Amino acid sequence: MSVSSLSAKSSAESLRSISSFGSAPDKLAPSVEGSMVWKNSELDPTKYVVNLSAAEVSEVRSAVISIKLQKSAPEQISKDNFPLSKDFSAKLAAVSKQIHEGFGVAVIRGLDAARFNDEEAVIAFVGICAHTCPLRATDSYANQTLSMSPFICHVLDATHRKVPHWAKDIGLAGSKITAKMDFHNDRFSGDVLAMHVRDDGGAGNGGEQYLASFWSIYNELLEKDPAVLETMAEARWPFELKQKDAAPYLELGPTLLFSKGKPICQLVKAPLLGGLHIPRDPSMPDLSKEQMHAIHAVEEVAQKVCTKLDRQQGDIQFINNLSVMHARAAYGKTDEPSTRHLLRMFLRDPQNAWDKPDAWKHNFDDPFTPGRRQEIPIRDLDPWRKISGRESHG
């Protein structure tokens, strides 16, 4: 049984049971090389933006119309029933190669020309992703009370919405607030983070997105402060996992893993430190001085090596959630809601997916459990209900 499967135990029991499992690997992986090691302007838009032709946009529109005429539920969309030409489908499959074996970043551009409404935009997003990374994750709450979650999250400003009485103690997740987010990877959420820019919020309103190669961060820390990496690799990080209508529980695990020599980062601050609207439960243990140092060290290097993601309306962004950290600037104004609106999914491509460490394979695989019901919210009418389970983002 892996440490991650101890969710039914109390926090104290989890801490005791980790004692024989919590050591770091005997040896850190050597420095890594390749296209996924980049800094600053070494990753420029000409290397990761994939432009759609007018004919390809027309293909997407036709496929969307086909789904609507069939009256197929969006969660039933697959590569098979979202028809694209052989060449176009191959072009999207090549994007997956770029995400897994290249820079770890890709942006599909040009979809804004289709002028889709909300429903059509969601269908197009799901359909294009089905040809790129065909498996969609649910926001999994394995063995918990909330077993069904949307595979699309609306990332937007919900801070001005009236809070229902029943939701007054729930709080808003990072995807629903306008505060800045430090560099992180979304823990056990999916191999690939996909986002569709419905509205970038307008010039001068913030919300810029930033990316940092964790492989570059790893190489620098390996040379200058390897103790940080050793701390990250220890399965002693005290993640607080929220539950719906129940007390949170403690899950101990690492923030750094390895896949055949590839460093995998799963460092996310919200379940370790608490968030602006979802504070950490006082029953949870504090992070150690070494863990706090590691968090600050990773953020410092990330800010030094990062690049601003080139973003335009209609873009579909793909980010390797195992090797590329992401962050965002604060956005919007305090006196009125921001129009910034992104759709978010987590994906996997079985053809290109990295192997996962045996001890944590279940955690990575669980969001892709076959047969789990999915649903698709065309509009975000209820920003509280779906975030009351465990929070692994931000």
CA distance linking residue 104 with residue 320, whole number of Å: 5
> Which segments within the chain are labelled E, that is strand?
49-51, 105-109, 135-136, 153-156, 181-184, 192-199, 209-213, 237-243, 246-253, 256-259, 262-265, 307-308, 316-320, 324-328, 341-348
Low-confidence ranges of the chain (pLDDT < 50): 1-23, 141-149, 387-390
CA distance linking residue 229 with residue 206, whole number of Å: 32
Domains defined for the chain, CATH in brackets:
3-386 (3.60.130.10)
Structure tokens at 350: 């079985």
- Stated pTM of the model: 0.89
CA distance linking residue 382 with residue 367, whole number of Å: 22
- Using alpha carbons, list the distances in angstroms from residue 145 to 4, 164, 246: 17, 21, 9
Residue 335 burial (CB count, 10 A): 6
Q: What pLDDT, on the 0 to 100 scale, is given for residue 393? A: 60
Q: What pLDDT, on the 0 to 100 scale, is given for residue 147? A: 31
- Return the DSSP state at 320: E
- Return the DSSP state at 184: E
CA distance linking residue 102 with residue 280, whole number of Å: 37
Q: What pLDDT, on the 0 to 100 scale, is given for residue 146? A: 27
Residue 18 burial (CB count, 10 A): 19
Residue 92: CA count within 13 A, CB half-sphere: 29
DSSP string across 110-127: -GGGG---HHHHHHHHHH
Name, in order, each residue with C-beta under 8 angstroms of 233's C-beta and a sequence gap of 6 or more. 24, 25, 28, 254, 255, 256, 257, 258
Rg (CA), the chain: 20
The answer to whether 89 and 79 have CB atoms below 8 angstroms apart is yes
Local structure of 237: helix, strand or coil = strand
Structure tokens at 81: 């029933």
CA distance linking residue 82 with residue 151, whole number of Å: 18
The residue whose two tokens read 């690939």 is: 192
